[in-house]
Amino acid sequence: MSMHIKQCLDNYLQHLSFNRHLSPLTVSANQRDIEQFIQSLEKGKADVVTEVTENDVRSYLMGRAAQGISARSLARYRSHLKNFFAYLKRQKILDINPAESVQTPRIKRKLPEVLDVDTMFKLVDIPLSSETAIRDKAVLELFYSSGLRLSELSQLCWSDLDFDSGLVRVLGKGRKERLVPLGKMAEQALLLWQPIATIWNQTQQDFVFISQRGGQLKNRSIQARVKHWAQQQGLWERVYPHLLRHSFASHMLESSSDLRSVQEMLGHADLSTTQIYTHLNFQHLAKVYDQAHPRAKKKKT
């Protein structure tokens, strides 16, 4: 079977949206990257997808590398193309995946930033001097209590919270559902916020976090509130929602060393994604050792 590659792309994007339930941003990124590759093809190959070869993929990525594109972006291009062609192979449109064997430069994995426990406690201990502050306190406590992603927190509904069992039902990436513990401090902050949310709510929607105008509190507003309170609390380092998720994961591993449980709470599909926090903790332990152990201290000469 041979099809025009653009028709194949349209079918693939619908598959990502309706079958894989990926976010509009993720679908848009796939579309943009694959369309750039299609534009690089010779006219005949763009007409018939079965004419695309491994060399076409390799030449495209090498050309992008020559333009100074980072190793991380090259890996993303390659991943999007590989997944696209894998889909076409499953649909019996292609016999082989032309991106399967193409390699990109190895990415040096950067360890995530985290706040230490004392700094994290200082951040969430905000004065409850207004209704907005009461809402924001619940935002900060829930981020740190349950390790939610920004999009997960903004989409959270009251029906997702089970105060009796102390659990939060979260709809994560790919619409995968998971249950996450709700900490006592987060529960108290949410219960304090709930009656105010009921008064503020001007819609029939059930979102936990809403603005003073009565609608859903959007991602950018949540980011701005986190930044605002970090500055108000005297934390002038860059503080953002995902930093609170990183801190949650790191502190959980420091206390429990239960990698599998932390993986489940974070909603990571791959354990290796969670293991990065183990490396972070080893780095922290090595620093403590160097500072404290008498055999680690260099003798003064």
The model's pTM: 0.62
Structure-block tokens of residue 234:
């005297």
Contact 148, 124 (CB under 8 A): no
pLDDT for the residue numbered 268: 55
Catalytic residue among 78, 80, 135, 245: 245
In whole angstroms, how large is the CA radius of gyration of the chain?
A: 24
Among this protein's residues, is 149 annotated catalytic? Answer: yes
Q: What angle do CA 265, 25, 208 make, to 5 degrees?
A: 50
Catalytic residue among 12, 77, 87, 277: 277
- Residue of 262, 251, 254 whose CA lies nearest to 119: 251
Phi first, then psi, for residue 126 (nearest 5°) are -90, 150
Residues of the chain with pLDDT > 70, as a percent, come to 79
- Residue of 159, 228, 242, 146 whose CA lies nearest to 186: 146
- Residue of 37, 38, 36, 31 whose CA lies nearest to 12: 31
Whose structure tokens read 């890996």? 75
- Alpha helices (H) along the chain: 5-14, 24-40, 43-47, 54-66, 71-90, 117-124, 131-146, 150-154, 184-200, 219-232, 241-256, 259-266, 271-292
Mean pLDDT in the chain? 83
Among this protein's residues, is 284 annotated catalytic? Answer: no
Indicate the class that CATH gives domain 117-290. Answer: mainly alpha
CA distances from 237 to 154, 228, 229, 234, 243 (A): 24, 12, 12, 9, 11
Catalytic residue among 64, 149, 246, 251: 149
Domain boundaries, the chain: 5-90, 117-290
Catalytic residue among 15, 89, 122, 268: 268
pLDDT for the residue numbered 115: 83
At 265, the pLDDT band (50, 70, 90 cuts) reads low
pLDDT for the residue numbered 89: 93
**pLDDT tens for each residue of 187-229:** 999 999 999 999 999 888 899 999 999 999 999 999 999 999 9
Among this protein's residues, is 242 annotated catalytic? Answer: yes
Contact 239, 115 (CB under 8 A): yes
Among this protein's residues, is 213 annotated catalytic? Answer: no
More confident residue, 283 or 256: 256
Catalytic residue among 6, 58, 228, 242: 242
Contact 148, 138 (CB under 8 A): no
Catalytic residue among 45, 173, 227, 228: 173
Among this protein's residues, is 277 annotated catalytic? Answer: yes
What's the CATH number for 5-90? Answer: 1.10.150
Among this protein's residues, is 238 annotated catalytic? Answer: no
For 143, how many CA atoms within 13 A lie in the half-sphere containing its CB? Answer: 29
- Residue of 171, 238, 176 whose CA lies nearest to 207: 171
**pLDDT tens for each residue of 127-176:** 999 999 999 999 999 999 888 889 999 999 999 999 998 888 888 777 77
